[in-house]
Amino acid sequence: MKLESVLESLLFISNQPLSLKELAKAADVPADDVKEALAKIGTEYQESERGFILAHNNDKYQLTTAPQNAEVVGRFLKDETSGELTPASLEALTIIAYRGPVTKAELEMIRGINCSLILRNLLIRGLIEEAEDKTLGETVYSVSLDFLKYLGVSSLNELPDYEKLHAREPLTSNISEEEQEAELEIKKN
Amino acid sequence: MHEIELEQFTGPLGLLLRLIEKEELDITEVSLAKIADNYVDYVQTNPNIPDEELADFLVLAARLLYIKSKALLPYLVFDESEDNEDDLEKQLKMYQEFVAASHNLEVIIGRKKFLFAPSALNRNWRRRPVTRPKFVAPKNVTPELLAARYEEILNRLAATVKLLPEESWEAKISIDDRIVSIRQLLGKKLRFSFSQFLKTAKNRTEVVVNFLAVLELAKQQELVFEQDGLFAEIQVVAVKQ
């Protein structure tokens, strides 16, 4: 049984994003193997210009329609999604997309303004999601798969200048190097 | 004078960036000092800044005025390391990069290349309206778990509170005391160099007190300032009574 084919079936039958963990459990193989196979599937879809692509974010995967067919599909679904976001929301989303997972403090440091309301708003709209960073003991925020679908990109790596803006040094100068290393470990995993 | 509409920026840094770009300045400490007054003016005269954001606008105003005062009185800077933590130039440059990135995202969103995922469709091929979320208690929640979690949060707060540095401000010297000692000094010496005098201060507070005391005595016409040329040494001279 080829792993790629198994994963494809699982993704096909689900109407929810599937996490790496769920897929690994269902296919009964290590998560690393699943990740590798999914990367292959994703590239294959894009290169063969299929009508669907594999979108992923925060280790969650979902088959979606291809961006070039957005207009036809949107019309067919009588979709009323608009492209509207306030400038402040867009700014916060940009920082979370590029710097995520990011703490509220770091977001506020970059924007120079309190972001409590905006974070709550974005959470309610499902554009971002929160998680607990055990090492930092703080809540961290990242954009949701729904936001990627809204942008029409299959992963954050497709954003312009992603590598450059993502890999900036940490802003908080008062955390020790040890903690920074621990933080990097989390990001890798 | 202020042609910038509030809707065009998204917070204090957004406003500052607009002002700097409008004056076609680069982001440097010098430009920040130059633009400080424009910023303060704008914040002061604009009634549209929401109350809940005003504090953040004022914090930035204070930082700008500090930078401006440093530019005007460079010899008053004692400890450079203190300023590194407050590197507005760096922060604004980073903010500028993200503003540029957000314009890129705006363009991407504007293309409306939304990705659609399978979801339950009704007969008209319309996606079913999302049912209103209702509260369902998770099965694994127990009172003990909640108590443990609450304690975790309290511990986290305790750690933060402990980290706050304790600083006490003791008014060791008053302006009145300093005025008395300056009078004594002038009684003995008739004149002294202003910069030498400032150097006798042991800390920032004393510099401020010395400065204010001399100004107060000048106002009361007990002393005058003499300066031979631009940026030359300032002499403090007693007025003969």
Domain locations in chain A? 3-76, 87-172
Q: What average pLDDT does range B60-87 have in this prediction?
A: 72
- Residue of chain B minimizing CA distance to A90: B102
Please, where in chain B does CATH 1.10.10.580 lie? Answer: 175-238
Is CATH 1.10.10.10 correct for A87-172? yes
CATH topology of domain B175-238: Arc Repressor Mutant, subunit A (1.10.10)
Most confident by average pLDDT, B7-11, B70-74, B193-197: B193-197
What are the pLDDT digits (tens) for B114-133?
888 876 555 555 555 555 56
Convert the pLDDT of each residue in A130-177 to its tens digit. 998 888 878 899 999 989 988 889 899 889 888 888 876 655 444 444
Worst-scoring range by mean pLDDT, A54-63, A100-109, B58-67, B69-78? B69-78
State whether A94 and B52 contact (CB < 8 Å): no
Q: Provide the pLDDT for residue A5.
A: 92
Q: Which of B94, B108, B121 sits opposite A151 (nearest CB)?
A: B108
pLDDT value at B44 more than 90? no
For residue B131, report the phi and psi dihedrals to the nearest 5 degrees. -70, 150
Lowest mean pLDDT across A2-6, A100-104, A118-122, B50-54: B50-54
Q: Residue B24 has what pLDDT?
A: 82
Same fold, A3-76 and A87-172: yes
Distance from CA of B137 to the nearest CA of A (A): 19
* pLDDT of the residue at A172: 47
What is the tens place of the pLDDT at every residue in B150-195? 998 888 787 666 666 677 766 677 888 888 888 888 888 888 888 8
Give the β-pairing of A52-57 and B191-193. unpaired
End-to-end CA distance of chain A: 28
Q: How far apart are CA A72 and CA A61, in angstroms?
A: 23
pLDDT value of residue B114: 86
Mutate to test the interface with A, among B53, B64, B88, B115 (most CBs of A within 10 A): B115
Measured CA distances, A66 to A15, A75, B128 (Å): 16, 14, 22
Nearest CB to B117 within list A63, A67, A93: A63
- With bands split at pLDDT 50, 70 and 90, how would you rate the model's confidence at B8? low
B128 touching chain A per CB within 8 A: no
Q: What is the pLDDT of residues A86-141, one digit of tens each?
A: 888 999 999 999 998 999 999 998 998 999 889 988 888 889 999 988 888 788 99
Q: Which residues contact A127 (CB under 8 A, 6 or more apart)?
A: A89, A93, A143, A144, A146, A147, A150
Tell me the C-alpha distance between B105 and B109, whole Å: 6
- CA-nearest residue to A154 within chain B is B115
- Chain A nearest C-alpha distance from B75 (Å): 27
Q: Across the interface, which of B14, B115, B124 has its CB nearest the CB of A67?
A: B115
Architecture of domain A3-76: Orthogonal Bundle (1.10)
Alpha-helical (H) ranges within chain A are 3-13, 20-27, 31-47, 70-76, 87-99, 104-111, 116-124, 145-151, 162-166, 177-188
* A114:B56 CB<8 A: yes
Distances (CA, A) of A48 to A40, A53, B145: 12, 10, 50
Q: Considering only CB atoms, which chain A residues are within 8 Å of B109?
A: 83, 85, 90, 150-151
Chain A residues near residue B52 by CB distance under 8 angstroms: 114, 117
pLDDT the model gives residue B190: 86
Q: Which residues of B touch A63 (CB under 8 A)?
A: 117-118
**Mean predicted lDDT score pLDDT of chain B:** 80
Nearest CA in chain B to A150: B114
What is the pTM assigned to this prediction?
A: 0.66
Q: Rounded to an integer, what distance in angstroms lies between the CA atom of residue A141 and that of residue A6?
A: 32
Q: How confident is the model at residue A179 (pLDDT cuts 50, 70, 90)?
A: very low
Interchain proximity B10–A160, CB inside 8 Å = no
Q: What is the mean pLDDT of residues A58-85?
A: 83
For residues B77 and A36, the answer to whether their CB atoms sit within 8 Å is no
Q: Which residues of B touch A159 (CB under 8 A)?
A: 101, 104-105, 108
Q: Are A159 and A97 in contact (CB under 8 A)?
A: yes
Q: Which residue carries 């076609």 as its tokens?
A: B24
Nearby residues of B211 by Cβ (< 8 Å), 6 or more positions away? B198
* Dist CA A49 CA B227 (whole Å): 78
pLDDT band of residue A189 (cuts 50, 70, 90) is very low
Question: CA–CA separation, A140 vs A96, rounded Å?
Answer: 10
DSSP state of B100: H
Residue B7: pLDDT above 80? Answer: no
pLDDT exceeding 70 applies to what percent of chain B? 80
pLDDT digits (tens, 9 = 90+) for B208-226: 888 888 888 888 888 899 8
At residue B2, the pLDDT reads 43
